[in-house]
Structure 1
Amino acid sequence: MATASKYKYTDIIFEIKGKIGIIKFNRPKSLNAFGGSLLGDTVSALRELNEHPDTVFTVLTGEGRFFSSGADVKAAAGRQTVEYANPAAKKIDFMASISTAIELLRSMIDHKKVLVLALNGPAVGGGAAWFEGIADIVLAADTAYLQVPFSALGLVPEFGSATAFYHSIGAHRANDFLMFGRKLTAQELEQWGMVNRILPTQGFHQKVVDFLEDQLNINDGKSMMETKRLQNLPLRRERMLAVYDAAEALAERFVEDAPKQRFAEKNKLLLGKSRGGAL
């Protein structure tokens, strides 16, 4: 029987099934974009499960057909333009705006339970970069894929993903994915070692629970958690430093207005193609 959280969450579904804690992004109409209170809710739920006395696995997954489409572009477009006194003020303001994302990454890096990423569907941008290299186990639906547009938008790999993907799949494959925006299917990700197992999309969430329950029937929960602790212990400092290095690099891109310029260039190109097609 599933149990609920003691806290009220708006943009995630939280439940505990025996020794399995589940955090499910619940903004399916926006393809689980990082808007509303989704990031804050997730940080709180990770903290709650980290201290839970009985759970072994923490599952991070999504409701609907997408795991996550990353940044909430519509919400960002609606923000008012701010005039800054100098570049330093602009950078400080940006760094303050990403504090929740940094705490989310720290919460995952320091999470004591076995962190299972269950990719129920495609993931784009931050959804394809923030979680995959940090998770201890990655299960993917057969229709899932990952893709990031960082270089195309004048951005950089976000919140330590360059280091995390390097650890998981190696430098050349990570560069192909992060620099060039290559779309990686679940099947390619399994071949490259990023995904542990591919499961059918139909009934995916229940199949994830069934798989983890089978592991709990075979293996001791404390031993699995200790294996995770020992494996990740030497990686913790490097991962956290990578998060802050990436945040600083991303902030500088925004200070330079690189993303704004790339958006303007792409919109101009699209407008030109539209006019050309109309003639």
Structure 2
Amino acid sequence: MTTHADILEVHDADRVRTLTMNRPDALNAFNGALYTELARALHAADGDPDVAVVLLTGRGRAFSAGTDLVEMAELVADGGDTRASTEEHGFNLLVDALIAFGKPLVAAVNGLGLGIGVTLLGYVDLAFAAQGARFKCPFTSLGVAPEAASSYLIPRLVGHQNAAWVLLSSEWISAEEAHEMGLVWRLCAPEELMTEATAHATRLAALPVSSLRAVKKAMTEPIGRQVAEARQRENRMFAELLGGPANSEALAAFAEGRKPDFTSLPDGA
């Protein structure tokens, strides 16, 4: 069965549900609608007895370019911090859905992964990446804080010093570097990515869902409190920084097509 939504494609085969983010012209950047649709799709898959595994990927040359900066700029202009403070905002709905998802979640990173496009990897159980994919956590270059417990989950995946560089520097990380540090599990030739990821997802999907759920719960339940606490810390920091001098300069530079200049900002900005 294949169905098509405007921004999220859903395909079912062999008890694997493939969710394809479909905003290729925007590099699959997450606007409120995509956050909400992916959250709904995860809830639906978790409750569907015909689905054992979910495979997440992107359409086009990007996995996801992160949060839609056009929408972020509009949010800042309106004077609100909806994303960090409102549970019903699509961003928080997606994070809640990722935490609650009880079946194996596999990612096939087909290209660029920025921001939430990297943060998602902290919630998946297996991550495959195409050779040539690149990763970036641009929080400091946007003048904001980490998100969705990434300050806790990414160090668990890659170790403290690798995570410190990824989160502090806003520098690009190659697919090979991501694989070496443990951010992704397997590297694949681009033309083999979906075949390889689907094959592994299908092998898992042939196993009893009750056991798959039990294994995942046993692995993730012990870190639930730490994830919740990390989200609270990050949301508080994000709310303090959003719309501040550094974030305003970053968004203005993005709109004007120039490199931001943070050197003249006061300490603490």
Q: TM-score, normalised by structure 1?
A: 0.83
Q: Is the 8 A contact 1:94 1:251 kept in 2?
A: yes
C-alpha distance in structure 2 between counterparts of 1:56 and 1:93, whole Å: 31
Aligned amino acid, residue 49 of structure 2: P
The match for 1:226 is 214
The match for 2:156 is 167
Per the TM alignment, residue 194 of structure 1 is displaced from its structure 2 partner at its CA by 1.9
The match for 2:8 is 12
Larger Rg computed on CA atoms = 1
Aligned residues with identical type, % of pairs: 24
Q: Identify unmatched segments of 5+ residues in structure 2.
A: 262-269
Residues 35-184 of structure 1 mapped to structure 2, 5 A cutoff:
35=31, 37-77=33-73, 81-82=77-78, 90=80, 95-96=85-86, 99-129=89-119, 131-184=120-173
The match for 2:234 is 246
Q: Is the 8 A contact 2:128 2:193 kept in 1?
A: no
Per the TM alignment, residue 128 of structure 1 is displaced from its structure 2 partner at its CA by 2.0
Q: Is the 8 A contact 2:106 2:201 kept in 1?
A: no
Aligned amino acid, residue 182 of structure 1: E
Q: Is the 8 A contact 2:122 2:153 kept in 1?
A: yes
C-alpha distance in structure 1 between counterparts of 2:246 and 2:83, whole Å: 17
The match for 1:86 is none
C-alpha distance in structure 2 between counterparts of 1:19 and 1:234, whole Å: 28
Cα RMSD (Å): 2.7
State the Cα deviation string for residues 81-132 of structure 1 (Å, max 9, x = none): 336xxxxxx5578623983211211111110110112111111122222x01
SS in 2 for 1:202: helix
C-alpha distance in structure 2 between counterparts of 1:107 and 1:80, whole Å: 25
The match for 2:266 is none
C-alpha distance in structure 2 between counterparts of 1:271 and 1:253, whole Å: 16
Per the TM alignment, residue 270 of structure 1 is displaced from its structure 2 partner at its CA by 5.1
Residues 265 and 58 (structure 1), Cα distance of their counterparts in 2 relative to 1, 3 Å cut = closer
Per the TM alignment, residue 237 of structure 1 is displaced from its structure 2 partner at its CA by 2.1
Per the TM alignment, residue 168 of structure 1 is displaced from its structure 2 partner at its CA by 1.0
Aligned amino acid, residue 254 of structure 1: L
Residues 29 and 240 (structure 1), Cα distance of their counterparts in 2 relative to 1, 3 Å cut = same
Aligned amino acid, residue 66 of structure 2: G
The match for 2:17 is 21
Q: Is the 8 A contact 2:66 2:113 kept in 1?
A: yes
Q: Identify unmatched segments of 5+ residues in structure 1.
A: 84-89, 273-279
Aligned residues: 260
Q: TM-score, normalised by structure 2?
A: 0.85
